[in-house]
A = this chain, B = another copy of it.
């Protein structure tokens, strides 16, 4: 009864096509150029077919957001395990986070910005949590190795994350300013944070 399997495969294929074509449009013309009708055109189906696979446009956005967080979590984890000391790890996280935003600006914008729906980020929670965990665990280890072992982990993790996001967001807002300067700001801020953390 491989018949239903083939059907399932075909369905999956359409779903993949939707995401692939959508991504191409996003990469070439930005998120705001993406419309259900354009997706339908690209996959050579009519519009309601898109809704067979995604409840709404927001669901498509969410899928990319999820993908982005998963990608980011992966890279952060890799960068972290390549270092030994917690401070080196933090520096690596900072650099990797930055690099991710530079290499995948569209993903980053979808994950954060767009700001629009003030966040229905419920389904992508799992992936966000993974990113959050990397920060928490590394900060935790750093605190343990520091001179103030009773520091609030959550507080410091959020601070770290916020600093990184702030630098990237500001960089994206003020346009493609000198990336050299931007990198220096990042390193300066990270170094300052680590110093304050380790005491």
Contacts and interface: CB of A to CB of B under 8 A. Distances in A.
Interface of A: 30, 32, 109, 112-119, 121, 152, 154-156, 158-159, 161-167, 169-170, 172-175, 181, 184-185, 188-189, 191-193, 195-197
A173 B116 contact: no
Nearest to A160: B189
A147 to B, nearest CB: 14
Contacts of A165: 166, 169-170
9 contacts: A32-B116, A113-B113, A114-B116, A119-B174, A155-B188, A156-B188, A159-B188, A162-B189, A166-B169
Nearest to A157: B185
A175 B119 contact: yes
B32 A173 contact: no
A102 B196 CA distance: 27
Nearest to A112: B173
A97 to B, nearest CB: 12
B119 A115 contact: no
A30 to B, nearest CB: 8
A112 B168 CA distance: 13
Given A155-B184, A189-B193, A195-B196, 16 more contacts: A30-B118, A114-B115, A115-B115, A119-B173, A154-B181, A155-B188, A158-B185, A159-B167, A162-B163, A162-B189, A163-B166, A165-B170, A166-B166, A166-B169, A169-B169, A192-B197
